[in-house]
Structure 1
Amino acid sequence: MRFLSDSYVEETRFGFWFLRSHTWQHHVLRVAINDLRRLFDQAPPSAPVLLDAGCGQGKSFQYLQQVFAPGRLLGTDADPHSLELSQAEAGRLGLNVELRGSDCAALQFADNSVDILFCHQTFHHLVEQEQALAEFYRVLKPGGYLLFAESTEAYIDTWVIRWLFRHPMHVQKSAEQYLQMLRDQGFEFGAQNVSYPYLWWSRSSDFGLLERFGLRKPPPVGQREETLVNVVARKPLKPAEPSA
């Protein structure tokens, strides 16, 4: 299989299967999209041009359509086979999705052409993260929104995840490091636009089993290493003034 990125890290067979499972669709994608919608300060753009960057097998399309009602729904991925499955998924749903194969570090979309860019559990797969974030910024319109949802190093660097999935381990980051990357790129957001979900599947050691059986209480925010971070970040309407 020839991928559309020289730095593409191919997923395991289990990982590829998991990305079309009910658990992934219902407990991961659906929950993340609903949480991201909650983090908006104001109503999202009406009938937006919405790009799913790293759309995988297209399982996000139905939820993005339900929550944001895009006027145009775009998708891109560096895996040609995933794009074929995305096309089939769009057809099954009766959705018109414009799919283009590309690396997230070299998006095949025009400057200032996207209202909402959805990047869900994709960034930790990317080696060229700074370039990808610059591309997200480039294709977003001024005032456009980046919907960023990621697992952090505290989750990715656990024995069970390293055993079942494949990731470029040298680029994994903490929640705060991801937030700082967004700030450094020029995106704007406040504390009200960020959440740290602590979902059962994101527990770094036991998938929440001890808590489920009442054998341990979940640690409060501020006393745990976050395993997930969701952000609604905005590209400024005007570029920042250069410092004197």
Structure 2
Amino acid sequence: MLMNRMETVLVNSPPRRWLQRYEARVLTALGGRTPGARVAELGCGSGYGTRLILDEFGAARVDAVDLDPAMISRARHRLRRHTGRAHLARGSATDLRSAFHDVGGGQNGTYDAVFDFAIIHHIPNWREALDEVARVLKPGGRFFFDEVTATALARPTYQVLFDHPSEDRFTAGEFLHELSRHGLDVGERWRTRIGGDYLLGVATRQ
């Protein structure tokens, strides 16, 4: 589901960009960089995470998808100096084949890595999103995730300010269990923050 106005303002703010840089450092410590890789990003938003994947993680190319055409437009502007390395498409994180068919992306075993900067908790059928991640990753490919759990979404501030699916929210434990069920091995490469509100980690496709 699309973000509401308040969350859109927040994700485009300097504090969110600072936090995303911190999250990228944590994910790098947990799973390493991705030099020369072809990568998919779920929910690129305004493109700041896409730029981190290219500049900090070292990916050669990113296929990035988002539901919101306004966000795609912002991302195109932010990534204008990365022409040829970032392909942006409007579409769903549960159907990457449709989003990237014109560039040969989204097929089985296409990507060396997939990135999720706090997008999957917005998806009502979040298990289908993880199934899609597992489908498009190569064997040995990595899934870098930074997620908001049901613990955080139940807090009054989240309920008042933001819109999220009200059913089938996941705890950190449920998310990790679902990764394993989809053949994504996280091992010890995960961390929770603020009493289990946030979950960061890296899983490898078996």
Q: Counterpart of 1:197?
A: 193
Q: Counterpart of 2:101?
A: none
Are the counterparts in 2 of residues 104 and 132 from structure 1 also a CA contact under 8 Å? yes
SS at match of 1:39: helix
1:33 aligns with 2:33: no
SS at match of 1:100: strand
Deviation at 1:156, TM superposition (A): 1.1
Which structure has more strand as a fraction of its residues? 2
Equivalent-residue separation in structure 1 for 2:112 and 2:53 (angstroms): 13
Deviation at 1:231, TM superposition (A): 1.3
Q: How does 1:87-236 map to 2 (within 5 A)?
A: 87-91=76-80, 94-96=81-83, 97-108=86-97, 109-191=106-188, 193-198=189-194, 225-236=195-206
Structure 1 unaligned runs (5+)? 1-8, 199-224, 237-244
Deviation at 1:75, TM superposition (A): 0.6
Are the counterparts in 2 of residues 115 and 141 from structure 1 also a CA contact under 8 Å? yes
Q: Counterpart of 2:3?
A: 11
Deviation at 1:195, TM superposition (A): 1.0
Regions of 4+ moved over 6 Å? none
SS at match of 1:75: strand
What is the number of equivalent residue pairs in this alignment?
Answer: 196
Equivalent-residue separation in structure 1 for 2:126 and 2:14 (angstroms): 29
SS at match of 2:163: coil
Larger Rg: 1
TM-score, L = length of structure 2 = 0.90
SS at match of 1:23: helix
How much identity, in percent, do the aligned residues show? 22
Q: How does 1:44-83 map to 2 (within 5 A)?
A: 44-83=33-72
Are the counterparts in 2 of residues 194 and 229 from structure 1 also a CA contact under 8 Å? yes
SS at match of 1:131: helix
| Aligned residue identity for 1:30 | R
Deviation at 1:62, TM superposition (A): 2.6
TM-score, L = length of structure 1 = 0.77
Are the counterparts in 2 of residues 124 and 171 from structure 1 also a CA contact under 8 Å? no
Task: Give the alignment's Cα RMSD to 1 decimal.
Answer: 1.3
Equivalent-residue separation in structure 1 for 2:34 and 2:57 (angstroms): 8
